[in-house]
Every structure is written in C-alpha cells, then in structure tokens.
Amino acid sequence: MSRRISDRLSEVARRSFFGRQAELAVLRGAIESPELPFVVAFIHGPGGIGKSCLLQAALSSVRPEIHSIVMDCREIEPTPKGLLATLGATLEMRESETDLPSVVARLGRTARRTVLTLDTYETFGLMDTWLRQVFVPVLPESVLTIIAGRQAPNPAWLTTPGWLGLFHEIELRELPEGDSRKMLQSRGVTDPQAERVNRFARGYPLALELAAAALRTQPDLAISSGPPPKVLQQLTHAFLRGLPPEITEAVEAASTVRRVTEPVLRALLAVSTAREIFDNLRDLPFVDVTSEGLVLHDVVRDTVAKGLAQRDHERYCTCRRRAWRSFTSESHRAVARNLWQCTADLLYLIENPVIREAFFPEGASDYTVEPATTGDGDAIREIAASEDAEESGQFIARWWDRHPETFSVAKTHDGKVAAFYAIFEPANVDPGLLTDDPLTSAWLEHLRRNPMAPGERVLFLRRWLAHTTGELPSPAQAACWLDIKRTYMELRPHLRRLYTTVADLHTYAPIVVPLGFVPLEEASATLGGVTYHTALLDFGESSVDGWLASLVGAELGVESTDLQTSIDAVASAVHGERPDLRPQASPEGTVTILFTDVEGSTALTQRLGDAKAQELLRTHNRIVRDALRAHSGSEIKHTGDGIMASFASASRALECAIAMQRAFAEHNEAAEEPIRVRIGLNAGEPVAEEADLFGTAVQLAARICAQAQPGEILAADVVQQLAAGKGFSFADKGEATLKGFEKPVRLHEVRWQG
Ligand SMILES: Nc1ncnc2c1ncn2[C@@H]1O[C@H](COP(=O)(O)OP(=O)(O)OP(=O)(O)O)[C@@H](O)[C@H]1O
Ligand SMILES: [Mg+2]
C-alpha cells in the first residue's frame, strides 16, 4: 500500500543525500511550477543507483501545500483495480468507490498540485500499457506523475503522438567523485579510506553505503574492483562478517523471502518473539522499510540466499518451508492487506525454472501487449492463416470479426504485431459461434458434464499464435502469457478453470503439465486435418491463490493442507523430497528411519533468547551426530528442530537411539538448561518404484517422533519385530491413530534407563 511522504521523511533523514543537483532542479522546478513543463518524469537506472533516494529528495523540501502520493509498485497488485484501490486508499476513499472516474474526480477536486510517484516500476511491466494509454491521459492537469524504475521507458512513451514534450526522461548514473567523497565522509569514513573505497565502488551509491557500513567493523576492508554486481557481492559478504551472529542468521533467513514482517521473521527463526531482531534488520543499510515489511536490496538478498543455499542447504530449505507455512497460514492472510501480497510472497518462493519462466519470462519486456484495435485485424488474420491449418485460421478470423474485443496483440517497439491471443468468458460471447466452433463447443460440453460450483468462473483461451513461430514458445508469446496471467489476477478469487488448445502437445506438455494443465483428449477437435488438443487448467477451490500455493508447495515438498506442527511439515517435506536411501538399506532392502525433535524449541527460545536456544540446538546436533557416527547411522537432513537419520539395521538404530538418550541425560545432569529430545523410529523398504510407499514410511517415522514424550524413544511395531530377540526392552503402548494414516499403528516404548 502507499504512504504519504511524511512517513518516509524519517527514512531520508537517516541517510543524508548528496549530489544530483541537476536532476533535483528539474524535478523540483516541475513540481513547483504553476504550469507543468511535462506530465510524466521517468527516472531510470540500475538497482542501487539512487532512484528512490532522488525521488525522496525531490519531494522532501517542496512547499507544504503540494500534495505528494508515494506508491511502491512492489506493493501494488499489478492490475488497474489494484492500482486504483491503492490510490483510493491514500485519498481516503471507500474501497467500493475506487473506479477510474471516481479516483480521477477525487484527484481533480482541488486545484492543488499533486505529485504521484510510482517507484520500483520495473515490477509493474504488466501495467505499462494501461498507465500510458488509459490512466495518465485522464489525470487532471494539476497532477505530475513521476515514475522510477530500473528499465528504460518503453519507447511508446516517447513515440506515441500526443506524448511528445509531455514526457521527461532522467537516466541516473554513478555519483561524481566529489559527491561520493562527501557522502562517505558524512557516514564517518576517513579521507584515505574514502579514496580506497571509491576505487572499487566507483560512485555507485549502494556500494558506497555498504562499504561505509562494513568499514565500521573492518577498518582494513579490502575489495577488488570489478563490475558493480561483483563489487556488491563482495561487500555483502564483508559486511555480514562484521555483524553479530544472530543478525547474520536473521539476514540469511530473511534472504529467502520477498519481504519480512515480524510474524514472518518469527516463523523463519522458529522463535516466539523477534521484535529486537526485526528492529536490528530495519537499520541495516541495504534494507528498505516498506509499509508491507522490510525488503532486502535484491543484489544483497540474492547473494546471501545463494551463499546460504550452497553452504547450508538444509537450513535454506527449512527457511523456505517455514516461510511457505507462514504465508499460507490464516494469520498471514490477516496481516497482508490484500490478497496480492500473499500471491507475490508465494510466487517469490518458486524456484522451479519452468514455473518461474511462466511468471517472469525473459525477453517478454521487448514487447508491449495491448488490446487489439481495428488496425491490427489484417496482421491477426495473416498470422492465423499462415501459422494454423486453413480451417482453424478461418475460425480465428470469425472470432475476430465477431468479437475483436477478446483479442490482444504483442507489438514490437516499432508497432508491428508479433503475436496475438484471444481470451474470453463463454458467457460474454455469441452462443452461436461458441457452438459452431468445434473447440469451444467441445469445451462447453466438458463444462456441461463437469459443472463448476455457483460463482466460479471459467476462461476460454481460444488461441495464441506468433508471427513465424506459431504456437511454439517465443519471447513474443511469453509476453502474451504474462498478460494472460494478468487476466487470471483480475478474475481471482472466482477463476476456477481455463481451457485452451495446442496442436503440438508433444512440445507443450513438458512446459504446461508442471503448471497443472491436463490434456483432455475427449475435447480435442480436428480442423483442416490437424488435431487441436485441449488442455485444461483447474485452479481448484481456492482459485489462483490455491493453485499457486499448491505449485509452491509441490516444489518445496510440502502439502497444502493442515500443516500444524513443524514435524508435520517435515514429514510431508521428506515425503516430497524422497531422499534416495537405497545405499543405507540392509541386504533385505529394509531401512530404519530415526527422527529426533528437541522439546518445545519455540518456548525455549522465548525463555532463553535466540542465541542461547541456538547453542542448545548445536549441542543437540553434536550429541546426535556423535551417536550416529558410533552406530553407523547416516544423517539425512536437519529438520530445524531435530535430525532425520537412517540405518541399515533396526538394532543399530535402536542402540543409537538409546545412546542418544543416555548422552542427553548425562549432559543434562551438569547442564544449566536440560535438552529434552523425542525420538521416533520406523522401518520400510526404499524400493525405487515404490517411492511413494517409502515416503509414507518416512512420514510415519516423523509422526511417531511427534507422538513420543520428551526423553522417550517410540518405535513402530515393525522395528520391534525386526529387533526381536536382540536384548532390547520394549513396553507395548497399544495402538495409536496418527494423523494422515488411516489405520492405527501399534507403538512400543524403548526402555533406555538403567
Ligand atoms: N544521492 C545520494 N546520496 C546519498 N546516498 C545515496 C544517494 N543515492 C543513493 N544513496 C544510497 O544508496 C542506496 C541505494 O539507493 P536507492 O535505494 O535510492 O537505489 P535505487 O536506484 O532506488 O535502487 P533499486 O532499483 O534497487 O530500488 C540507498 O541506501 C542510499 O542510502
Ligand atoms: Mg528504489
């Protein structure tokens, strides 16, 4: 959501501003002049060059009667509705009133100069056309729009007739040496240090800022020079080295998510209070304070996240899973002021290249996607005629003639149509044509046989084709798909299904199946001798957000329902990851799985504080790992609150579990803080073809562990049977019903004392 500039002034004050006199003069001159010299200013330059700072500086000293509205595109749903709702909220309008004419009318109510700023515009690619063609042209004369983003403006801002002279472009470059030096001095850097820093930072403000901060703890800081991203990476590492370990740990955890709020931080660190650490994060030089939480600068965030993933992959995965759980929980939804925040947070967790490419396609920004106009008809017909079978091309032409409003086109910067697509809700189009067209009539038939619930909506994506490459993946088509995603967003939370068609199912299946599309052979149609297959995307009961959650969940190996305890999450995660345990199997193919879980680690953290609780966890790790080594166990993964391990023999696993409990008991005798650990054991056969079955065995082991009392070892019946006659003492605990398992499971307590 947006804030008034006053909210941000304190942030500016934190870091004083230098240089940029020419740019400031142009912006301030425009803001203050009675007649606007241009209606849009577009500031651009790489990340960390100082765009946001310039915006703040330009607004910070203007006359009080000027009304400034500061909006950060990262925080706004990329739809017209999302932008208008955000803008309406800053204008104190009721949400139901935030349609375009009302918002414009409200803006025009005073003759006062209004400055509307849209920062981080690079995340708003989907909205560029609408802003340029629809929104800015209807704004009152008194409104100056300032856009700041990493990419240069789409040339259409410069070339569209009517825009000439109304658009002012400002490209930001590095600070000149004199200004860099002043900036460094103001941050307490000595002259000789400043000279050294500028040799590698070369006037790049974010690098200067990070270097100044790193110098505070490491006066001898040495960084080799190179391109800005490389320098920033080195600086990030150097800076983190100088931080207290608990802050470094929080930065690492925060690097796995798009933004952190206090509840998210608590979830990431598995602690019950995180106020102090949150405040510490906020004051770091690469952290942006937004109204939706703290955002790490992305160069820093990517560097830290990559480093964590390489160094401690388990922790990296644990953080992402914890984030996922926090984002899908009710409390997160209550905190996020709109659904878009949740969607964007979930999207950020997606690492799968196929899925990422579908949402953030490369090369798509070379095209502008906009609603087709009459003049585009010839190009659309031509593409349809040359890229599809004749009969299919004829149907596309009929759709164009009857419903041109359902078509959008991707255009190159010189205005040529490179691709088109047609999408509609069946209820909005001519029923005659719907039944004439063999594909749409097959889709209707499928809908009739498989009706949706009342209120659910469906989209027919009738065709998408690009010049020369047809339906095959291409950058122009990627641009179209991105635009199609915008339509999904607009129909959320009611969108339930999308029907579409492909001729070359073979090429498309690997791309779209991971996204949830399923081929519907019964709904295919033959046109001009070519089979056009139908693919159906069922978003599920929770519409687009549920679909996204399940995509992310599948990738992280967590199920989307009912994740209550961390052990639950781990059990499901393990299920999804299916570690290859065959090397640890006995000659009979059996593997015994052991889970440990430190009692009440959250409560512990609350009581002892983070550092102390971490220390306890480290002691737990050491004791468990020592025992594993002594009993030929293999650590499979750290679960955040415990360890999962496997053994080729059930008796070895039992011996190991007993050794662990004894070692903890011994430790506790002398320790200030006892460590009380649950241990659960199960056995199964990790046959490759039966990966699912084995996943279940692992999940059961985790559930048995959760069932154990602190200080107790619980084993499944199968473990007791495998170890029968080997001198272990078991106490039958009877049958227990464990979550996710239909049949009750007989459990045995393993005696280890005495
Ligand atoms: N003119 C300046 N004087 C002093 N400090 C500056 C100046 N410009 C930028 N900085 C510092 O550099 C850092 C990066 O600047 P800023 O956040 O404005 O970059 P940006 O271009 O908006 O980057 P992004 O594309 O990542 O949003 C800020 O933390 C700020 O402290
Ligand atoms: Mg910025």
pLDDT digits (tens, 9 = 90+) for 234-284: 999 899 888 899 999 999 999 999 889 898 999 999 998 899 999 999 988
pLDDT at 577 over 50: no
Q: Residue 538 and residue 251: Cα distance in Å, rounded?
A: 38
- Give the per-residue pLDDT at 360: 57
DSSP state of 423: E
Q: Is 315 in the pocket of ligand 1 (CB under 6 A)?
A: no
Question: What is the pLDDT at residue 130?
Answer: 86
Ion ligand 2 — residues with CB < 5 Å:
52
pLDDT in tens, 642-663: 888 888 899 999 999 999 999 9
**Which of the four pLDDT bands, split at 50, 70 and 90, describes residue 8?**
very low
Instruction: Give the global pTM.
Output: 0.62
Q: Measure the CA–CA gap between 311 and 244, rounded to whole angstroms.
A: 18
Q: Is the CB of 229 under 6 A from ligand 1?
A: no
464-514: pLDDT as tens digits:
999 999 998 888 887 788 778 778 877 877 899 999 999 998 888 877 887
User: Tokens for 748?
Assistant: 């045995």
What is the percentage of the chain residues whose pLDDT exceeds 70? 87
What is residue 217's predicted lDDT score, i.e. its pLDDT?
Answer: 84
The whole-number average pLDDT for the span 406-429 is 92
pLDDT in the model for residue 688 = 44
Determine if the peptide bond prior to 493 is cis (ω within 30°): yes
Ligand nearest to the CA of 43: 1
Angle at alpha carbon of residue 16, lines to 13 and 21, rounded to 5°: 120
* Cα 225 to middle of ligand 1, angstroms: 20
Question: What integer pLDDT is reported at residue 569 of this predicted model?
Answer: 37
Residue 47 CB less than 6 A away from ligand 1: yes
The per-residue b/e assignment along 734-751, b for 16 or more CB within 10 angstroms, e otherwise, is eeeebebeeeebebbbbe
Q: What distance in angstroms lies between residue 209's CA and the mean position of ligand 1's atoms?
A: 8
What mean pLDDT comes out for the span 218-224?
A: 85
Q: Which long-range contacts (CB under 8 A, 24 or more apart) does 275-279 make?
A: 277/246, 277/247, 277/250, 277/610
pLDDT category of residue 15 using cuts at 50, 70 and 90: low
Is residue 207 lining ligand 1, measured as CB closer than 6 Å? no
Cα-to-centroid distance, 368 and ligand 1 (Å): 29
CA of 45 to the centre of ligand 2 (A): 10
Q: Which of 53, 286, 288 to mutate to test the pocket of ligand 1 (most atoms within 8 A of CB)?
A: 53
- Taking a C-beta distance cutoff of 8 angstroms, is the pair 80, 130 a contact? yes
Widest pairwise Cα distance in the chain: 95
| 602 band by pLDDT with thresholds 50, 70 and 90 | low
Q: How far is the CA of 48 from the centre of ligand 2 (A)?
A: 7
For the CA of 53, the closest atom of ligand 1 is 18
Pocket test for ligand 1, best of 52, 177, 284 (most atoms within 8 A of CB): 52
Of the given ranges (38-47, 336-345, 572-581), which has the lowest mean pLDDT?
572-581
| 425 CA → ligand 2 middle, Å | 38
Ligand at minimal distance from the CA of 54 is 1
Q: What DSSP line would sit under 118-178, residue for residue? A: EESGGGGGGGHHHIIIIIHHHS-TTEEEEEEESSPPPTHHHHSTTTTTTEEEEE--PPPHH
Classify 424 in phi/psi space as left (phi over 0), alpha (psi -120 to 50) or beta: beta
Higher pLDDT, 419 or 583: 419
**Ligand at shortest distance from the CA of 24:** 1
Mean pLDDT over the full length of the chain: 85
Say which residue, 521 or 164, is predicted with more confidence.
521
Cβ-based neighbour number of residue 391 at 10 Å: 15
Burial class (CB in 10 A: 0-12, 13-18, 19+), 632: middle
> What separation in Å is there between the alpha carbon of 60 and the centre of ligand 1?
15
Confidence bin at 119 (pLDDT 50/70/90):
very high
- Do residues 455 and 462 touch, judged by C-beta distance below 8 A? no
